Amino acid sequence: MKLRVSAIQYHMHDIRSFDDFAKQCEHYVRNAQEYESEFVLFPELFTTQLMSIGNEQGKALDITALPAFTEQYKELFTKLAKESNMHIIGGTHIIERGGSLYNVAHLFYPDGKIEEQAKLHITPFEIEGWNMAAGEELRVFDTAKGRIAILTCYDIEFPEIVRMAKAKGADVIFCPSCTDDRHGFHRVRYTSHARAIENQVYVVLTGTVGSISVDLMRANFGQAAIISPNDIPFPPQGLLAEGELNHDMLVTADLDLSLLYEVREKGSVTTWRDRRTDLYVDWESGEKDGLS
């Protein structure tokens, strides 16, 4: 089975209204639709662009104002998913639950269904700057084209959580990201390649580019990449496609799931099958780690 995916290098710039935001999002979705994509990925924290709308005093909105846009955000992407007949991973959006803020990825199905995956690992930056809370549950999602997982930015830097996603049957990991410098970008990029090799899965990665007049979001350093395992059926660098660094653009590639199944059984290396689960124990409790 094959699926076509598009990853958006979303250009962050100041806007004046939600309608400006909606028009930009629609532009990217229509572009992906022209390429007959079936899945389209927006980056992490791209809805912080809404903070640049500002208040009556002309100052940027605070992060606590973002949850007020949640219904408009959901209505917009539900409409776009239905009209385009695509699965849209609507990047991440900040929501409020029980008095806490969460950085939550949203999956919009063509039939109008919406699923959520909260970011599980929160960076010191998110805690200190925005007092963000961590999600508590890893989920996988069934689609007409197979089972996927959504792990946001910092999440991909933790091998255990991606092992768990693969153990739950995910063949494609979508990774919406937002990084402000080369160091953060390369951490996410390099670990995405590692996770694809370790688990013999595809990783679809993208990030924000450009800049907005909002504290903690003034710099964005990003590049989309569609990443495969490193084995003979795939490109030698494990890279199906990548964007131009820090450019406003869309990157598209086809993912052949049958190749994953092939290399898991008889690849040059069989990293998923050859896991030493007899050795993988929790060194604190002495119990198996549950990743088998």
Asked if 44 is an active-site residue, the reply is yes
Cβ atoms of residues 134 and 225 within 8 Å: no
Cβ atoms of residues 223 and 189 within 8 Å: yes
- Tell me the two tokens of residue 177: 């990201």
Question: Among 119, 126, 157, 166, which one carries the catalytic annotation?
Answer: 119
Asked if 153 is an active-site residue, the reply is yes
Residue with tokens 């990548």, as numbered in its chain: 242
Separation of alpha carbons 204 and 2, rounded Å: 14
Question: Among 38, 44, 157, 242, which one carries the catalytic annotation?
Answer: 44
In total, the chain counts a number of residues equal to 292
Q: How many CA atoms lie within 13 A of 25 on its CB side?
A: 28
SS3 state of residue 228? coil
Cβ atoms of residues 222 and 179 within 8 Å: yes
Question: Among 25, 126, 145, 153, which one carries the catalytic annotation?
Answer: 153
Question: Closest Cα to residue 200, out of 267, 278, 280?
Answer: 267
> Could you give the dihedral angle defined by the CA atoms of residues 14, 15, 16 and 17, in that order, rounded to the nearest 10 degrees?
-140
Separation of alpha carbons 220 and 202, rounded Å: 24
Active site positions, annotated? 44, 119, 153
